[in-house]
Amino acid sequence: VRAASALVVLLTACATTGDPQRDLTALRAESDDSYVLAASLVTEVGPRFAGSEGDARAVQWALRKFTELGFQNVRAEPVTVPHWERGDIRVEIRAPGHHRLAALALGGSVPTPRRGITAQVVAVSSLEDLQKLPDAQVKGRIVYFNGRTERTRDGSGYVKAVPARRTGPADAARKGARAVLIRSIGTDARAAHTGTTKYEDAPKIPAAALAPPDADLLERLLGNGPVRVHLAIASRDAGEAQSANVIGEIPGETPEIVLLGAHLDSWDITPGANDDAAGVGVVMAAALRVAALGKPRRTIRVVLYANEEFGVSGGKAYAQAHADEIGRHVLVMEADSGSGAAWRLHANVADADWPLVAQLAGQLQLELGANGKEGGTDVEPLCKLGVPELFAMQDGSAYFDVHHTADDTVAALDRAGLAQVTGVFAVLAHEASERGAGFGRLPAAK
Amino acid sequence: VRAASALVVLLTACATTGDPQRDLTALRAESDDSYVLAASLVTEVGPRFAGSEGDARAVQWALRKFTELGFQNVRAEPVTVPHWERGDIRVEIRAPGHHRLAALALGGSVPTPRRGITAQVVAVSSLEDLQKLPDAQVKGRIVYFNGRTERTRDGSGYVKAVPARRTGPADAARKGARAVLIRSIGTDARAAHTGTTKYEDAPKIPAAALAPPDADLLERLLGNGPVRVHLAIASRDAGEAQSANVIGEIPGETPEIVLLGAHLDSWDITPGANDDAAGVGVVMAAALRVAALGKPRRTIRVVLYANEEFGVSGGKAYAQAHADEIGRHVLVMEADSGSGAAWRLHANVADADWPLVAQLAGQLQLELGANGKEGGTDVEPLCKLGVPELFAMQDGSAYFDVHHTADDTVAALDRAGLAQVTGVFAVLAHEASERGAGFGRLPAAK
């Protein structure tokens, strides 16, 4: 690879020598390379929601940065994305007292009528709890999901809490609710959290998440008696827009490809430092660390996906656009779990390759996870077509303090964690690039 | 005092007996009494900015609560307050890139023209730093004060940082600036902070505070080169409005008065749990603890002041309205420093009484502070007329994380700290009420 001077600056710890084997420790160098890239995206671009003006600037940033760093075959592949505009929101307790609440519309929420909706609140703890309520207690009311998100290392607290956001509005609508409020899905003390809701075939009702302290206030008042809430959302479905998957490569000796992915977009209300500027930094820097060892055997292809957040448009578009070369993809890895250190190695590989995964986990001092259980969102369409995946699970203890909130700023990046994850990605990408046999294919549509 | 049943419930630990001397330990009971009152004001009323609808409801809350708790001579004394409306704000970096910044207008800021102001930013670290700049480097620009607030136990970090907010806009305007931005005066990681600015006789230019992470972003970009910022503020001077000081008493045997004060108002963007629902809870609960020992020798008068935040209207109005009974005020104490534990005892007393202050500090295990240096804002007009003051300095280490921000919620109250402070106020109020000699007068207009 023709290393640009910026690359050299970024990777001073990783001097290339004649014998790549001698420098494998450089793959795990103590370096801020991924942090510097993540901070650049956050600082120079900011929020970059699919189809927005910030999204277009993010694409330009990625093209420029790939080029500056000496990547080859740099290109933007068009992706059509849905575009939704949040508009203003107002949520107020109208009785007892009068309190304005900090809240964010859920992604894709329909607007309220212009004058808003004012109704009594009925609280439920879960989708199951909602189903137990007679429809008469839901009809005409605002359903409030009060479930709390547990802080966990493996993100299971989030997984457990998120159905209230994803299908709560649809389920409540089917029982006649006028709107839905949820306690923010997250572990933070203050900020409201957004994220997609899915109406499926249910009537579409407006939905929003309350910031945790405002949820506390609502719950204290609900403990005393009936509460009336006013909700006004001025969101808008703005149809389709154009975005792009941005790709840069470290060309190899063979036509085979090792794909490292992350997503370029963020939610509209956040600069998305952990979600997913961190991942963008990790995969770009990991590829450069491999490149610094000399021309790889297989091509390292870095894909910065469009619109993960609001429908995985980029992941789906990539699999379609590259249908004729799926068989050349030897391995995929995605970085979309923030900046915490990797601690466990999962995979989606053929059984015959599981011992190799165990060996790599041991070499990287990671716990050995499960086969076929965890994986990245954007690369899932490839895995369904039989492409093997390695998935380095990162420490999620702090991630959901800021995930999908305005608090996901550079200050929330874990620098030491990022450096460690970058090393893990570099070692795994190098292994996938250089080892003779490659990985076996998965059965398609696993 | 005719104790109402609510009082009995609140003070189960403080049973009254025939001999008040026997129960002095009850003054320092481990009780949530002040916390319960503070949480009630925050939860049932919420934000209560001078002249707002919330302010009117706070007055009603205080009248009702005093009455329920068995206070006597409960009344609202009219206070005319200035009323200012914040309106919407938009602050954006327009180049390089495009970033929306979290910000709050400073209290009293004039609006921008409707289309906003867009100008290059010039950063300064302090008022002194600003004075050193040639006017040509300030004229037509937005001046940005980047000073950080140091976390301190005694609040000195805040005192040191606050001049940028209070007089920065006036000083910048005199040098031709079009607007002022400041890094929020506070130690928190996220929320923007408001607070009054004073234009004095300078041209009035719009001014706002950036949330700390947004200030970080601006500073990172300023490190790379010129930055253009757009600022639009739709604030409004809404003239005068009516509010009230709300007063409740524990009548004593003599016409002399021990005054315990706190302020009922809050900034508009916060429920004001620490500032100053905490103080309201402390002074009400401390008076009830004294009352539970039996009828006091001197009257304990609790004054919940109107509009401390935006011009100390209530403190000034009280001193005027009670000019004919200033001489009957034996001692004043104010609680307006959040919910941290008291750790040092300051005073504004005659020299002859300083040994008594030292003795009380020892008895309460507080450090002994200084005479004539620290005191409450609302009671300052009384002290200037010669009324002695005791001032229990509270731990301010965490206070400026939330002070004047939306984060000042019930969750930010220090329950253990509140219980301790309430005990300190109760012991000092009891001492001031019961001791034979009272305190000596200060020289007027000290």
Looking at CA atoms only, how far is residue B35 from chain A in angstroms? Answer: 14
Q: Residue A444: its pLDDT value, please?
A: 59
Rg of chain B over CA atoms, in angstroms?
Answer: 23
- Best probe of the A interface among B35, B36, B42, B43, by most A CBs < 10 A, is B43
Contacts of B411 in chain A (CB under 8 A): 189, 212-213, 216
The tens place of each residue's pLDDT in chain A, 446 residues long, gives: 333 444 433 443 333 334 445 468 899 999 999 999 999 999 999 999 999 999 999 999 999 999 999 999 999 999 999 999 999 999 999 998 888 999 999 999 999 999 999 999 999 999 999 999 999 999 999 999 999 999 999 999 999 999 999 999 999 999 999 999 999 999 976 789 999 999 999 999 999 999 998 999 999 999 999 999 999 999 999 999 999 999 999 999 999 999 999 999 999 999 999 999 999 999 999 999 999 999 999 999 999 999 999 999 999 999 999 999 999 999 999 999 999 999 999 999 999 999 999 999 999 999 999 999 889 999 999 999 999 999 999 999 999 999 999 989 999 999 999 999 999 999 999 999 998 776 777 765 54
Q: Residue B14: its pLDDT value, please?
A: 38
Contacts of B191 in chain A (CB under 8 A): 190
- Best probe of the A interface among B85, B90, B98, by most A CBs < 10 A, is B98
Question: How many Å apart are CA B80 and CA B97, to the nearest integer?
Answer: 46
Q: Residue A442: its pLDDT value, please?
A: 74
In the predicted structure, residue B32 carries a pLDDT above the cut 80: yes
- Establish, for the pair of chains A and B, how many residue pairs have beta carbons separated by less than 8 Å: 80
Q: Which residue of A has its CA nearest to B270?
A: A100
Contact check, Cβ <8 Å, A409/B216: yes
Looking at CA atoms only, how far is residue A349 from chain B in angstroms? Answer: 41
Looking at CA atoms only, how far is residue A216 from chain B in angstroms? Answer: 9
**For residue A174, what is the enclosing H or E element?**
helix A168-174
Contact check, Cβ <8 Å, A271/B99: yes
* For residues B373-386, average pLDDT: 94
Tokens 């026997």, residue? Answer: B22
**Do residues B273 and B409 lie in contact, with contact meaning Cβ atoms separated by under 8 Å?**
yes
CA atoms within 13 A on the CB side of B83: 17
Contact check, Cβ <8 Å, B97/A45: yes
Looking at CA atoms only, how far is residue B47 from chain A in angstroms? Answer: 7
**Do residues A102 and A212 lie in contact, with contact meaning Cβ atoms separated by under 8 Å?**
no
Residue of A77, A85, A219, A308 marked catalytic: A308
Contact check, Cβ <8 Å, B409/A213: yes
Concatenated DSSP letters of A356-403: HHHHHHHHTT-EEEEESS---STTHHHHHTT--EEEEEE--TTGGGTT
Tokens 């084997």, residue? Answer: A21
| Interfacial residues of B (vs A; Cβ cutoff 8 Å) | 39, 42-47, 53-54, 57, 93, 96-100, 102, 189-191, 212-213, 216-217, 220-221, 271, 406-407, 409-411
Q: Residue A11: its pLDDT value, please?
A: 40
What are residue A157's phi and psi, to 5 degrees?
-65, -40
Q: In chain B, what is the greatest distance between 2 CA atoms, to the nearest angstrom?
A: 76
* Residue B298 pLDDT grade (very low, low, confident, very high; cuts 50, 70, 90): very high
* For residues B24-43, average pLDDT: 94
**Do residues B428 and B27 lie in contact, with contact meaning Cβ atoms separated by under 8 Å?**
no
Q: Which residue of A has its CA nearest to B269?
A: A100
What does pTM read for this prediction? 0.84
Q: Are strands A367-371 and A342-348 parallel, antiparallel or unpaired?
A: parallel
Contacts of B220 in chain A (CB under 8 A): 39, 43, 410
Contacts of B189 in chain A (CB under 8 A): 407, 411
Considering only CA atoms, which of A139, A412, A432 is closest in space to residue A258? A432
* Residue B3 pLDDT grade (very low, low, confident, very high; cuts 50, 70, 90): very low
Q: Which residue of B has its CA nearest to A102?
A: B406
Q: Which residue of A has its CA nearest to B217?
A: A43
Q: How does pLDDT run across B382-423, given as a tens digit for each residue?
A: 999 999 999 999 999 999 999 999 989 999 999 999 999 999
- B308 tagged catalytic: yes
Q: Residue B8: its pLDDT value, please?
A: 37
Q: How does pLDDT run across B200-231, given as a tens digit for each residue?
A: 999 999 999 999 989 999 999 999 999 999 99
Whether the CA torsion A181, A187, A189, A194 is positive or negative: it is: negative
Q: How does pLDDT run across B76-98, given as a tens digit for each residue?
A: 999 999 999 999 999 999 998 88
Contact check, Cβ <8 Å, A221/B43: yes
Selecting from A102, A271, A407 the residue whose C-beta is nearest the C-beta of B406 gives A102
Q: Residue A23: its pLDDT value, please?
A: 64
**Those residues with Cβ within 8 angstroms of residue A334's Cβ, 6 or more apart along the chain or in another chain:** A260, A261, A262, A279, A375, A376, A377, A378, A379, A389, A391
Q: Residue B188: its pLDDT value, please?
A: 75
C-alpha A242: how far from chain center: 20
